[in-house]
Structure 1
Amino acid sequence: MFPSLLVLLYVGHLLADNALQTDHQAGRKAAPGAAGWRANLTHASTHVAVCSLALVVVAAVLGEGIGVLPGAAAVALIGATHAWIDRRWPVTAWIRIARQQKWAAAGGAAHVDQAAHVLVLAVAALALTALS
């Protein structure tokens, strides 16, 4: 079940992060204040919705048993951590701690961001596999 969960959650992530994210969300999700949080949480909610759909596909199409509470906890984890990572300061802090400033300036920050998101997807998929 783990491979199916990870692939479908990753596809959901790619859809929510690329095809479904608006210019407004992308430009303001890390901004200070209520407007930044509104854009951020709207974007994170898209991840919750799309990843929830991915879990429904795993359950219905692939016949894998995923409990409602574990599934809800997994998508809540994905949404909450996505919102946190997308505030950008966690990525910036990691880059500073890992001494990756030159690499980040050359476009590496986006890779650190995506690696953090995929790590959470893998943890969610592992947890769901263990609980199912």
Structure 2
Amino acid sequence: MDAATFASVFIALYVGHSMGDHWVQTSHQSAHKGRPGWVGRLADARHVTTLTLTKLAVLIPAAALLGLHLSVPGVVVGLAVDAASHWWADRRTTLAWLARVTGKGEFYRLGAPRAGRDDNPHIGTGAYALDQSFHHLWLLVAALIIATA
């Protein structure tokens, strides 16, 4: 592996993640992916599918233009690991549990609306910050897998 390949892959995945998580994800997916049962599981699966395709749509041309030599199995495994971790975190109760057991429960709830009071006039919440940092960790893992396979 060379560091330039890893850095290029990570940047492409990071940009694809940002686009897929914020521009491509539908309002329905966002509102339903954390719901219990099959409604939530399927909404989350649809989100992760379009998110992964977005990452691939950014990675392929970047790799071609930069002359990166990536293996198909490496790309498949890297994106599969990333997709599984993203699906797990976006079920919401799972990430809330992880925050609670690691002592970050209070931060997770920071900025969340309280019953009868939406006193958070901006998008930033502790849950969102922990969600995105969790995803960034797994983007790093995926980039390492892709760049070293």
Q: TM-score range by the shorter chain?
A: over 0.9
2:30 paired with 1:30: no
Per the normalisation by structure 1, the TM-score is 0.92
Report runs of 4+ in structure 1 exceeding 3 Å deviation. Answer: none
Within 5 A, what are the aligned runs for 1:7-26? Answer: 7-26=11-30
Gaps of 5+ in 2: 111-124
Match for residue 110 of structure 1 among 128, 135, 147: 128
1:58 deviates by 3.0
State, as a whole percentage, how many aligned pairs show the same letter: 34
**Which residue in 1 is equivalent to 2:71?**
67
**Which residue in 2 is equivalent to 1:43?**
47
1:39 deviates by 0.7
**Which structure has the larger Rg over C-alpha atoms?**
2
Alpha-carbon distance in structure 2 between the residues aligned to 1:103 and 1:70: 35
Q: What amino acid does structure 2 have at the position aligned with 1:93?
A: W
1:77 deviates by 1.4
Alpha-carbon distance in structure 2 between the residues aligned to 1:34 and 1:115: 26
What is the RMSD of the two structures over their aligned residues, measured on CA atoms? 1.2
**Which residue in 2 is equivalent to 1:81?**
85
Per the normalisation by structure 2, the TM-score is 0.82
1:100 deviates by 2.3
Structure 1 window deviating more from structure 2 (92-101 vs 25-34): it is 92-101
Q: What amino acid does structure 1 have at the position aligned with 2:84?
A: A
Deviations 1:50-95 (A, max 9, x none): 1112221232111100111111111111212111110012211122
**Which residue in 1 is equivalent to 2:120?**
none
Alignment length (residue pairs): 131
Alpha-carbon distance in structure 2 between the residues aligned to 1:26 and 1:97: 25
Gaps of 5+ in 1: none
Match for residue 138 of structure 2 among 117, 120, 128: 120
